Amino acid sequence: MNHQIVDQKERSLVLEYAKKVTGNFIGGHWVPSKSGSTIEILDPSTGRTLGEVPNSTADEVAAAVENAAAAQHSWAAKTPSQRSKALLDLARLAEENFELFSVLEAVDAGKPISAVRDDEMHGTLDAMRFFAGASRTLPAPASGDYLEGVSSVMRREPLGVIAAITPWNYPLLQAVAKVYAALATGNSVVLKPAETTPYSTVLLAELAAQVLPAGVFNVVFGSGAVAGDALARHPKVAAVSFTGSIETGRKVGIAAADGVKKSILELGGNSPVIVFDDADLDAALDAIAAGGVYNTGQECMSASRLIVHSSILDRAVEGLKARLSEYQVGDVLDPGTAIGPMNSAEQRSRVEAKIAALGPDAKVVLGGVSPEGDGFFFPPTIITGAGQHDEIVQEEIFGPVFTVQPFDAESEAITMANSTRYGLAASVFTSNVGRATRVQNALNFGTVWVNNHLVFAADLPVSGFGQSGIGTENAELGLLEYTRLKHIMIDQR
User: Hey, which residues between 330 and 369 contact ligand NAD (CB under 6 A)?
Assistant: none
Q: Which stretch binds ligand NAD (CB under 6 A): 19-27, 93-101, 202-210, 239-247?
A: 239-247
Identity of residue 215: G
Among 24, 241, 248, 304, binds ligand NAD (CB under 6 A): 248
Among 57, 102, 169, 427, binds ligand NAD (CB under 6 A): 169
Q: How far apart are CA 71 and CA 218, in angstroms?
A: 11
Among 268, 375, 400, 423, binds ligand NAD (CB under 6 A): 268
User: Hey, which residues between 38 and 77 contact ligand NAD (CB under 6 A)?
Assistant: none
Whole-number minimum distance, CB 211 to ligand NAD, in Å? 26
Nearer to ligand NAD, 192 or 321 (CB): 192
Does 194 contact ligand NAD by CB under 6 A? yes
The H or E element that residue 316 is part of is helix 313-326
Query: Count of CB atoms within 10 A of residue 45's CB?
Result: 26
User: Hey, which residues between 95 and 154 contact ligand NAD (CB under 6 A)?
Assistant: none
Q: How far apart are CA 62 and CA 24, in angstroms?
A: 12
Among 28, 112, 269, 478, binds ligand NAD (CB under 6 A): 269
User: Hey, which residues between 441 and 460 contact ligand NAD (CB under 6 A)?
Assistant: none
Catalytic residue selected from 300, 396, 473, 481: 300
Q: How far apart are CA 339 and CA 326, in angstroms?
A: 11
Which of 158, 443, 452 has the alpha carbon at shortest distance from 303? 452
Q: Which stretch binds ligand NAD (CB under 6 A): 68-76, 141-149, 262-270, 483-491?
A: 262-270
Whole-number minimum distance, CB 220 to ligand NAD, in Å? 11
Which of 456, 444, 441 has the alpha carbon at shortest distance from 416? 444
Among 165, 182, 293, 316, binds ligand NAD (CB under 6 A): 165
Nearer to ligand NAD, 86 or 267 (CB): 267
Do 199 and 17 touch, CB atoms closer than 8 A? yes
Residue 96 is among the residues annotated as catalytic for this protein: no
Q: How far apart are CA 196 and CA 354, in angstroms?
A: 22
Nearer to ligand NAD, 276 or 398 (CB): 398
Per DSSP, what are the bridge partners of residue 407?
309
The contacts found for 415-419 with CB under 8 angstroms, 24 or more apart, are: 416/272, 416/307, 416/388, 417/272, 417/274, 417/307, 417/443, 418/272, 418/442, 418/443, 418/444, 419/388
Q: Which stretch binds ligand NAD (CB under 6 A): 24-32, 264-272, 404-412, 429-437?
A: 264-272
Do 165 and 231 touch, CB atoms closer than 8 A? yes
Whole-number minimum distance, CB 111 to ligand NAD, in Å? 13
The H or E element that residue 123 is part of is helix 121-134
Residue 300 is among the residues annotated as catalytic for this protein: yes
User: Hey, which residues between 412 and 431 contact ligand NAD (CB under 6 A)?
Assistant: 424
Nearer to ligand NAD, 330 or 464 (CB): 464
Catalytic residue selected from 60, 120, 266, 410: 266
Conformation bin of residue 55: beta by default, left when phi > 0, alpha when psi is -120 to 50 = beta
C-alpha 111: how far from chain center: 14
Identity of residue 245: S
User: Cβ contacts of residue 414 below 8 Å, gap of 6+?
Assistant: 274, 439, 442, 443
Q: Which stretch binds ligand NAD (CB under 6 A): 88-96, 118-126, 191-199, 353-361?
A: 191-199
Q: How far apart are CA 40 and CA 196, in angstroms?
A: 8
Q: How far apart are CA 185 and CA 182, in angstroms?
A: 6
User: Hey, which residues between 214 and 233 contact ligand NAD (CB under 6 A)?
Assistant: 224-225, 228-229, 232
Q: Which stretch binds ligand NAD (CB under 6 A): 8-16, 143-151, 163-171, 332-340?
A: 163-171
Among 156, 251, 421, 435, binds ligand NAD (CB under 6 A): 251
Q: Which residues are catalytic?
A: 266, 300
Chain residues binding ligand NAD by CB under 6 A are 165-170, 192, 194-195, 224-225, 228-229, 232, 243-245, 248, 251-252, 266-269, 300, 396, 398, 424, 462, 464, 469
